[in-house]
């Protein structure tokens, strides 16, 4: 089975070199590497030219953003599963890809844990074994450790490149919630994700929330009506818990703690 690794980069020569080397060091060989560079002017193109023999396809040209670049990679991919390892991120070790091949057993989406690296601090982001709308409302399995069948993009369309931050999130929730895509979580650490990209920038949080709200209102309007009511009730409960009168009544045993 062939896996397509797609790497997107722009003006990140050092990160691009790290990612390419990590792929080159893998002990298995049943993969192809596709690199889509956005027309970098920091020496990245020279790195690509030096390593071009390792790529099944590469290009360095202007694009409309990360999701437009990822779509370019998807269209060139030939693997049964697609995996996005963007510039700067890498595998945990040289046998990582070989070790996880046994878990690619036909599900539409297979995802793993990742290391979140912030300088010298490493935290493991564990993925849930069962997905729920509540989880997907706030988060998603990280694309740095998620394998997606190429057929899903053929059937449901590519990433929405009019979105700047959450197009991968939009694709997954539509595949999972509207089309009942099958999935599997594997409790293994697979890759390292280095904080500092657009989605990990605190300044991007407001835009991320706005884009997510736009997607949910467009794709799941009825469900959002219920969800808004649910969150309204949760806010009321949180405020009641903070009430000194309520706390006093709980201590006196007049009402049960809630």
Q: Where are the domains of the chain?
A: 3-200
CA 105/CA 2 separation, integer angstroms: 13
> Which architecture does CATH list for 3-200?
Alpha-Beta Complex (3.90)
Provide the CA 29 distance to its chain's centre, in angstroms.
24
pLDDT per residue as tens digits for the range 64-105: 999 999 999 999 999 999 999 999 999 999 999 999 999 999
Name the residue among 126, 111, 232 with its Cα closest to residue 182.
111
Token output for 86: 């963007």
CA 93/CA 192 separation, integer angstroms: 10
pLDDT per residue as tens digits for the range 11-68: 999 999 999 999 999 999 899 999 999 999 999 999 999 999 999 999 999 999 999 9
Evaluate the CA torsion angle 21, 4, 70, 116 in order and state its sign: negative
């Amino acid at each position: 089975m062939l896996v397509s690794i797609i790497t997107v980069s722009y003006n990140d020569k050092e990160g691009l070199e790290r990612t390419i080397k990590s792929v080159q060091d893998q002990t298995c060989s049943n993969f192809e590497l596709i690199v889509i560079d956005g027309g970098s002017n920091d020496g990245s193109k020279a790195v690509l030219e030096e390593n071009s023999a390792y790529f099944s396809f590469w290009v360095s040209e202007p694009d409309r953003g990360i999701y437009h670049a990822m779509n370019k990679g998807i269209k060139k991919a030939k693997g049964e599963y697609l995996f996005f390892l963007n510039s700067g991120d890498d595998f945990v070790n040289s046998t990582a890809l070989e070790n996880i091949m046994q878990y690619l057993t036909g599900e539409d989406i297979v995802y793993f844990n990742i290391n979140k690296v912030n300088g010298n601090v490493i935290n493991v982001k564990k993925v849930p074994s069962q997905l729920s709308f509540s989880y997907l409302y706030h988060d998603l399995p990280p694309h740095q450790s998620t394998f997606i069948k190429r057929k899903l993009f053929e059937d449901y369309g590519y990433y929405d490149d009019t979105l700047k931050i959450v197009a991968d999130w939009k694709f997954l929730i539509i595949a999972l919630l509207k089309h009942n895509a099958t999935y599997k979580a594997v409790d293994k650490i697979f890759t390292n994700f280095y904080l500092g990209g657009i989605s990990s920038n605190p300044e991007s949080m407001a835009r991320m929330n706005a884009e997510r709200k736009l997607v949910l209102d467009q794709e799941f309007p009825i469900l959002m009506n219920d969800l808004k009511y649910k969150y309204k009730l949760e806010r009321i409960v949180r405020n009641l818990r903070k009430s000194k009168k309520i706390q006093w009544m709980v201590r006196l045993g007049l009402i049960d703690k809630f």
